[in-house]
Amino acid sequence: MGYDIYESLGISREVYEYGEAVIARLRERFSEIDATAEYNQLKVLKGMQEHQVSEACLLGTTGYGYNDLGRDTLEQVYASVFHTEDALVRPQITCGTHALALALMSNLRPGDELLSPVGKPYDTLEEVIGIRPSRGSLAEYGVTYAQVDLLPDGSFDYEGIRRSINARTRLVTIQRSKGYQTRPTLSVSRIGELIAFIKEIKPDVICMVDNCYGEFVETIEPSDVGADMVVGSLIKNPGGGLAPIGGYIAGKKECVENAACRLTSPGLGKEVGASLGALGAFYQGFFLAPTVTAGSLKGAVFAANIYEHLGYPVVPDGRESRHDIIQAVTFGCPEGVIAFCEGIQAAAPVDSHVTPEPWDMPGYDAQVIMAAGAFVSGSSIELSADGPIKPPYAVYFQGGLTWQHAKFGILRSLQSLVDKRLVTAEAVTKAREKVKDSGL
């Protein structure tokens, strides 16, 4: 059973059997991931039942969107799941960067200082903050920024953080996922330690967590360990692959209300904002999100093991515990990055027939190649990969709406490297023997 259908999709027997050997060693990891998904599935279900989600909630409003039952109920469901006082979940929040910018700009005032105690934030936030000068940035409004980098071993620089907290420090931003950096992703419990330390120095500081790619990877969220706000994108984990747009901010009532007044207008706040036709997908996507995230996680663990045993540096490694769904693989040459991305593209349900090419993307200092054949454009909870064409020639891989698809995508990426003779069939066979003998 099994190989025939893979063969018909262009996978060689060596690659297939190597994949099976790796999976045989991952049973325990996978059952841990399933246990987390089970817990989170019930957590979401509980939130939906508690707030009596009804068929009427799935319909949308138009125009001003006053008394939008489905929108208001969904926000309560999010608040239940994240254990927060309130939440803002809207199709008018256009992406993750927008959600983060909204949370920052609405909770900071001129003269305040923003602190990142975990190093440089995600690329797109540089212009929001004004680290790179930009129209409309926080810097233009007189909000200053301080940053404390992680220590070389990845730990928090507690002394540096203590020194940089001052009378003007109003909000601390903590990015959970490593994003496209090499530092480790933070576990929820490490985030909790950091928040406790900061609150001891300054109890009234607002602690915000950029939760992108982290939702449902663990059974607790940063809001369970002291975060005043968690913020993310609905075209990543919590949208479950179904949300066609959107972002969320869950947290303290005061913080969420500030964000609502900035998203709509002072005086209007959460009262307006038609949900249009988005609610059905928001609810169903949130319901599926725990298992979709689990599928992505299995794909990431599988990819780490497949490429690690072939000798490529991978972050996180094949055994590390996971706190987000991103997997980095370093190929050391442009051809490797390109072949990998071509394989991911060829595995897609949409646009599998197109060939991705490196291009000069705005905002990047090198060419970037991206592979994505997604139902929702740009969705990175769907199987996707991208890599800048510059040393060390690493690709960042994430997503997969199902584990089965993520598995096929990884095998297809390896097949692409084999077909281009960047990896030999003998190396694949050798790696399979090594895995079988190792009893990992």
Ligand X SMILES: *Cc1c(COP(=O)(O)O)cnc(C)c1O
Distance in angstroms (rounded) separating the CA atoms of residues 297 and 325: 5
Alpha-carbon torsion angle 111, 116, 119, 123, nearest 10? -80
The type of residue at 259 is A
The answer to whether 386 and 370 are in contact (CB under 8 A) is yes
238 contributes a contact to ligand X by CB under 6 A: no
Closest to ligand X by CB, 95 vs 341, is 95
97 contributes a contact to ligand X by CB under 6 A: yes
Which stretches does DSSP call E strand in 198-299? Answer: 206-210, 229-233, 247-251
Closest to ligand X by CB, 179 vs 273, is 179
Closest to ligand X by CB, 81 vs 234, is 234
Maximum Cα–Cα distance for the chain, whole Å? 68
233 contributes a contact to ligand X by CB under 6 A: yes
Alpha-carbon torsion angle 431, 432, 433, 439, nearest 10? 100
Contacts of 161 (CB under 8 A, 6+ apart): 115, 117, 148, 197, 198
292: closest CA among 379, 182, 178, 190? 379
CA distances for 68 relative to 44, 60, 102, 252, angstroms = 21, 7, 22, 22
Binding part of the chain for ligand X, among 5-13, 152-160, 171-179, 314-322 by CB under 6 A, reads 171-179
Closest to ligand X by CB, 323 vs 407, is 323
Contacts of 23 (CB under 8 A, 6+ apart): 302, 407
Contacts of 384 (CB under 8 A, 6+ apart): 344, 370, 371, 372, 374, 397, 398, 399
Binding part of the chain for ligand X, among 30-38, 126-134, 205-213, 340-348 by CB under 6 A, reads 205-213
Q: Provide the mask over 52-81, with x wherever binding to ligand X is found by CB under 6 A and - wherever it is not.
A: ------------------------------
Residue in 82, 156, 213, 286 binding ligand X, rule: CB under 6 A: 213
210 contributes a contact to ligand X by CB under 6 A: yes
Binding part of the chain for ligand X, among 41-49, 91-99, 271-279, 355-363 by CB under 6 A, reads 91-99
Q: Residue for token digits 């693989």?
A: 329
Contacts of 212 (CB under 8 A, 6+ apart): 96, 122, 175, 176, 177, 179, 231, 232, 233, 236
CB of 100 to ligand X, least distance (A): 6
237 contributes a contact to ligand X by CB under 6 A: no
396 contributes a contact to ligand X by CB under 6 A: no
379 contributes a contact to ligand X by CB under 6 A: no
Residue in 12, 61, 177, 305 binding ligand X, rule: CB under 6 A: 177
Q: Which residue is nearest to ligand X (CB)?
A: 96
Residue in 77, 95, 225, 371 binding ligand X, rule: CB under 6 A: 95
Closest to ligand X by CB, 16 vs 248, is 248
Closest to ligand X by CB, 93 vs 417, is 93
**Beta bridge partners of residue 398, listed in sequence order:** 384
CB of 203 to ligand X, least distance (A): 27
Number of chain positions touching ligand X (CB under 6 A) = 13
116 contributes a contact to ligand X by CB under 6 A: no
Q: For the beta carbon of residue 255, count every other beta carbon within 10 angstroms.
A: 24
Closest to ligand X by CB, 73 vs 177, is 177
Residue in 6, 122, 307, 340 binding ligand X, rule: CB under 6 A: 122
What the block records as the tokens of 283 is 């609810």
What the block records as the tokens of 234 is 């609905």
CB of 87 to ligand X, least distance (A): 18
Closest to ligand X by CB, 75 vs 324, is 324
175 contributes a contact to ligand X by CB under 6 A: yes
* Interacting residues with ligand X (CB under 6 A): 95-97, 100, 122, 124, 175, 177, 179, 210, 212-213, 233
